Each structure stands twice: as C-alpha cells, then as structure tokens.
Amino acid sequence: MKLQSTVRRALGVAAVAVALPLAPFAAAEELYFDSRDAMPEQYTWDLGLYFADAAAWDAAYAAVEARLGEAEQYRGKVGSSAKTMAAALQTQFDLYHALFPLYVHAHQKVHVNNGDTQGNEQSGRSEALYARMQSALAFIEPEIAQVPEKQAKKYRKAKELQPYLHYLDNIWRLREHTRSPEVEEVVAGSSLPGSGHVNAYNALNHAGIEWPTVKDENGEDAVVSPGQFGRLRSSPDRQVRENAYQAHLAAIARYRDTFAATMGSKIQRDVWLARVYHYPSAVAAALSASNVPPEVLETLLDTVHSNTDKLQGYLDLRRRILGYETLYPWDTSVPLITEGGRSYTFPEAWELAMQFWTETFGEEFATIAQEALDKRWVDVYSNEGKQGGAYSWGTYQQPYYLFLNWEGNFDSLSTLVHEMGHSVHGVLADRNQSFHNADPATFVAEVGSVASESLFTEWMLERTTDPVERKLLLDHSLSSIRNTFVTQIFFHEWEARAHALAEAGEALTADTLGNIYVELNDLYNGDAIAQNEYTNVYWARIPHFFRNFYVWNYATSFAAGEALAARFRSGDKSAAADYIKMLKLGGSVYPLDALKVGGVDMTDPAVIQSVMDRFGALQVQLAKEFELED
C-alpha cells in the first residue's frame, strides 16, 4: 500500500432533521468574484476548522517536526516481535495523522487563491516536512516485508496485530517489490525533488501563463483561464466557443516545450520507480498497488476498442442535432439546445440534491451532506486566483471540503452531487475505520460518486415532462459516459504509450507526446471530429496525467458505479444498504472485495460491456426525442 506515498484524498452524511435556511440572492446569481471578500460567506470554506490561524498552524507544524525521530527506536527491530511491530506501526500512523491536516490546509488556501503568499509558503513547508517524514519512516515497511513467511504466519494470529492485518497483508503480498530499508529511505528522500514536475506544472498553469481574453456571448471580456475554459467552451455562441478554444490552446502551445519537459520528468520518475521496485513496467506497478488483475484493464481497453462505433455515432448524432456540416473540438461540450434549458441558483440546486440524497440513499447520507453545507465545507463560486475544476478533499476525521466553480447549469448541479458522493464516502469511512484502513483505493474512490451522479440524472428525468429538459438530461448522461468513461480510457492509453516510450529509451518531447495524442484521437473519434492544429498539445491541459495512472482507475470506477446504479434501477431493495456498507469499508479490504459488498463483480466482462450498451441505448432514446431517423 505504501502509506508513505499517500496523502489523504477525500471522497463523503449524518442526518439533520431541519436544514439551515439558505439566504437567497436578491438578484441574478453572481458566478464570478474579483475578490473572495465579496462572496457570501456561507458559500466559502471555513478553513479555520483545521487551524484557527497561522499561529495555530505553525504550532502544529513545530509539534509534528519535533516528533520526527519517534520511530527511530524501532529501527532494526520492527520484525522482532508482534508487540514491537504493532508499536512501530502505530507510531507511523500517529505521525501521518498529525501531518496530513497541515498539508491539506496549506494547499487548499492556495487552491482558492493562488496568490496567497502565506498559503504558498505553508504548502512548501508541509511538502518538505512530508518528505522528511517519509525518510524517517521508510525503514518500517521493508523490515516488515523481510519477516520470513513462517514468522509472518504466526504474527497474523497475534492479538496486538489484529487491527493491522489488512495493512500487513498488503505489505507481505508485495514482498518481492519491497526494497531494503536503505533503498526505501533513499527513494523516500527523493519525493520532494521528485515533485518538481507537478509544482512547475501548477505554477505555469495557474500563475505563469497570462491567459488571453475573449468576448463572451454577452460581449463581456472573459479570461480563458483553466477555471473559465469549461464555461466558455460550453457557450451557446459557436464563435465564442471557437475563440475560447483556440485562444486557450494557443497559449498552451506557446509553452509546449515547457509542458513536455515537466511531463517528461514525471514519466521518467514513474519508470525509474517501477524499475527500482522490480516491476516490468510502470503500468504493472500501478496495477499491483491496487491488487487488480491485469485482465480487468485488458477487458476495459478491448471493450472500448470494439465499441468505438458507438462513440463516433454519438458525435455524429450531436453534429446532426446541432445542424452542423462538420463537428469541431469546440462543439463537443455545448448543450444540444442552447435556449430553454433550466438554470439553477446554488440554493435551488442544493434543495434538489438534498431531496435526491434523502430519497435514494437515506437519512444517514443526507445528514452528512447537510453537515457539509452548515459547517462551510463547500466553496461554491469562482474567483480571481481560484483554480478550475471541482473536487472533494480532506483528511481523517476532519472536514471533507468540496471545491466547486459554480456555473448555474445542470452540469454544475450534477458535479455537486458527484463530489458530495466523495465527501460522504470519506466521512463514512472515517467514522467506521481506523486511520490506516479508512482511505479507499483510487480504484474504488469514484464508484459511489459515479453511481450517485448517474442515478441523479435519471431521478431528474423521472420528474420532468418538459421535452427540452428531457433532451438535455439525456445528453448529460451520454456526455458523462463519453467524458468520464471513454475519454478516461483514451487518456490511460496516452499515459501508457508515453511511459512505454520512456521505457524503450525514446525521447519524450512535445512532438512525440503530441503524436501519441493525435493517433489516439484518430482511433477513438475517427472522422467524427475535425482535426485541429492544436490537437497535438491538448494533453498538456490534463492535470490528471500528473497523478500516476489515475485515469484508468477512474474509468473502471465509472463502470462499477454504473453497475451499482443498475441495481437501484432494477428496484433491488437492498441496493441502498449495500451501497452504504461499501462506503463504510473505506480501504479496509481490497478494491474488488469492496465492490462485491456493493454487488459488483469487476472480473465479469459484462460489467464493462454494459456501460457501452447503455451508451448506445441512450443515443437511440435521444434520437427519438429529437425525432431523428436512423
């Protein structure tokens, strides 16, 4: 499991009988703020829930730093007895438990304001402390791995080690891929300089590039930053979309060599680590960490490759509905109906989401969601200096903060539902597992949120007879499968091929990385989307590529989430209870075992094929809604 290489990432309700009232906006909802001080406070994070002020953070930092040597007393002795092993493990977990709030708090200050000097300084200090802690604790897992199998068998029965059995099993499972304490300490010490690529990427993407300005559909100036790009490329005005797309990608293209250098450094480190740990490839190392059979990934790729006709058919359906002769990259995110679709203020969206959570998953889920809003775990609106996208992130038995960039449309509402699925997952796992067993594997992390989002779209469909709304909801479901499932597999293939180039000793340049992307674009999209001069730099705007083989986990989680949602659709009365049980498991069991508790067997190829089958069926339904002939 390599706990040292993991920073807690949230997923995550407790029920409140009466929700606190939301203050309505007197006029049209403002979606972007030049200053965070101008935002309604109730829709901003209360970062004081982690640390009241900088002095409290500094005091906690000093306390953790003073404890760095606590584990040294166990060096060379970890495997000497069950009692000593248990003590060493608990010391390790206590130290990480104390460190992670420092790390999360500092980075989240920067996420909402990349110009926060104090936040940037604290982020750097927390990263350095994290690297030092990794080095200080690097000997523990190797010493456990060196315990002979006969002795390990006895330790599995020892009373002192019962709370740590899953963690220990994972170490002994990976025995042949664990190096000596000396090597592990060197690797751990390399984590800080080894993170330079992602720091450079973030600095360039969020602060270094002066993003261009275009006119939006209202004739107002709009900065095509990462945070605003999604909104602009969904504009009902095709010229705005094209201008935004071209301007954003042109800015990236100007730095293509810098992006390639940072990505190349990241990939070379992945390849180096795989070799250090005696894996045949970086992909094999990623699979081993999750204890997922290679066949699952192979089935994923084979299934999508054999169903590219459905992907290209969907793109062609969009082209026909939009009335275009040619579909361009800036046409893939625009709503199919540019007028008449419903908009949502955040308070309106929250009311809908709460009704859905309560009806579908029950009071336990809904209560935690309300707690998140009441205690200000949700940061809603965009502001100058805030990074783009959405996420949920927290640490053990602390708030799981939701990060949003609210745009007032159904996509934003759906994103809220998705991210709250993560936060509820984190809270339920933390309240039912110990620190070392709470964090779910990435392979499972998206399942609950995907199922929630998928079910929510259908829940909304069941409650509307408006033909415009129905078309938009159907297209949302289709776009979700394309963007969150198929595209993530596309991304995995890009990542795998790029790593294979490095493993073969080939150069990783802007041209070689761009060529891979163009080839895959041809494979997946065929002639359904016109090629664009910037297709070969699009990879540079995908931050997930800086998380080692994250996207294949995401795609597989999506398939499992859809399978879980199918249980609800079938009327299975035990689906909700099994879903909650699965969330409460956290990382206390292996990913495939957790999914089985939810009622999903990921070794069954039919699970993945069913996603593509649903993709095809939804296209037929959408074509009927638009009264199109085959």
462-488 pLDDT tens trace: 998 888 889 989 988 999 899 889 999
Neighbouring CB atoms inside 10 A of 592's CB total 20
What are the CA-CA distances from residue 564 to residues 447, 449, 464, 490, 611 (Å)? 8, 11, 24, 23, 11
- In 3D space, the residue among 72, 60, 199 whose CA is nearest the CA of residue 143 turns out to be 72
Whether 214 shows a pLDDT value over 70: the answer reads yes
CA 519 to chain centre: 26
Burial 169-178 (b: 16+ CB within 10 A, else e): ebbbebeebb
Domains of the chain: which residue ranges? Answer: 33-178
pLDDT at 386: 92
Rg (CA), the chain: 24
Kindly provide the b/e burial profile for residues 106-119, where b requires at least 16 CB atoms within 10 angstroms of the residue's own CB: bbbbbbbbbebeeb
Q: How confident is the model at residue 630, as a pLDDT?
A: 62
- The pLDDT of residue 337: 82
At residue 196, the 3 state secondary structure works out as: helix
Name which of 449, 455, 404 is nearest 428 in CA terms: 449
Q: Percent of the chain scored above 90 by pLDDT?
A: 70
- Mean per-residue pLDDT, 202-206: 82
Q: Please state the rounded mean pLDDT for residues 571-577.
A: 93
Q: What is the pTM of this model?
A: 0.82
Q: Which of 184, 371, 419, 469 is catalytic?
A: 419
Residues 6+ apart with CB under 8 A from 398: 49, 50, 101, 104
**Angle (CA) 279 93 140, round 5°:** 50
Active site (annotated) includes residue 419: yes
**Mean per-residue pLDDT, 426-441:** 96
Residue-level pLDDT at 340? 65
Report the candidate in 433, 470, 366, 394 with the shortest Cα–Cα distance to residue 586. Answer: 433
Overall size of the chain counted in residues = 630
Residue 337 CA to residue 368 CA, distance in Å, equals: 35
Alpha helices in 256-307 (DSSP H): 256-276, 282-290, 294-305
The identity of residue 280, as a single letter, is P
pLDDT tens for each residue of 215-254: 999 999 999 988 788 889 989 899 999 999 999 999 999 9
pLDDT in tens, 22-35: 333 334 799 999 98
Which pLDDT does position 208 carry in this prediction?
85
Out of 174-188, 270-284, 434-448, 488-502, least confident range: 174-188
Q: Which amino acid is at 364?
A: E
Judge whether residue 609 has pLDDT over 80: yes
Taking 50 as the threshold, does the pLDDT of residue 343 lie above it? yes
Query: What gap in Å lies between CA 123 and CA 111, rounded to an integer?
Result: 11
> Which of 1.20.140.70, 3.40.50.300, 3.40.640.10, 3.40.80.10 is the CATH number of 33-178?
1.20.140.70
